[in-house]
Amino acid sequence: MTSRTLTATATAVAALAACGATAQAAQAPAFHLVGTPQLYTIDQPRAGGPSAYVVFAGDRHLHEPRSIVARVAGRSGRTYSVSDRCYRSAIVHETGQGGPLPVVKAGQRYTVTFSVRAGATGAKTTIATRRLVARTWTPSSTPGSLKTPRC
């Protein structure tokens, strides 16, 4: 074999290895809900802020919490890690001028669908559906002490 053939072969092997690593990294996490999720409507939401939260616990810590999507009343939100194995999906719904609109009403029952995806974006696979009653959550009025609902 010539050095050119060895280089071509090494390049092909490296490309195949990279494809395998990419395929493994693109798989959605194996994630299961633990306990009962909670649905909150925000009392007097601020412009640009969430109108609702879905708070839930999982069976594992996720490096990329955005791989879990909670959908309620036709809206889905970005999921954040609150603490180890505890997550909060913040759902923003606003007018064309940026004013907040309610997503859910306190005391009403809603279907919340939980899905997983390979990363922050991508195709979703439903892992659970729950019927939850929305509760009201009032943000703290003390500046800098915005405490969110916990798992």
* Tens of pLDDT, residues 113-135: 999 998 778 889 999 999 999 99
Q: Cα–Cα distance between 5 and 42 in angstroms, integer? A: 64
pLDDT band at 17 (very low <50, low <70, confident <90, very high): very low
Is the pLDDT higher at 43 or at 40?
A: 40
**Residue 74 burial (CB count, 10 A):** 7
Strand 86-91 relative to strand 109-117, pairing: unpaired
Region for 11 from its dihedrals, namely left if φ exceeds 0, alpha if ψ lies in -120 to 50, beta otherwise: alpha
Domain boundaries 31-137, corresponding CATH code: 2.60.40
Closest listed residue to residue 71, CA positions, set 99, 103, 95, 47: 103
Instruction: Parse the chain into domains and list their residue ranges.
Output: 1-28, 31-137
Q: Which pair of tokens denotes residue 105? A: 């009403």
Q: Which pair of tokens denotes residue 97? A: 């001028």
This prediction has a pTM of 0.75
**Which residues in 12-145 belong to E strands, given as ranges?**
33-42, 52-58, 68-72, 75-76, 78-83, 86-91, 109-117, 124-137
Mean pLDDT, residues 54-75: 92
Name the CA radius of gyration of the chain, rounded.
21
Is the pLDDT higher at 79 or at 144?
A: 79
Q: What is the mean pLDDT of the chain?
A: 80
Q: What is the pLDDT of residue 26?
A: 62
pLDDT at 63 over 90: no
Q: What residues does 78 pair with on adjacent strands?
A: 90
CA distances for 70 relative to 23, 31, 45, 128, 129, angstroms: 25, 13, 19, 10, 9
pLDDT at 111 over 90: yes
Q: Which pair of tokens denotes residue 139? A: 């943000």
Closest listed residue to residue 62, CA positions, set 44, 50, 80: 80
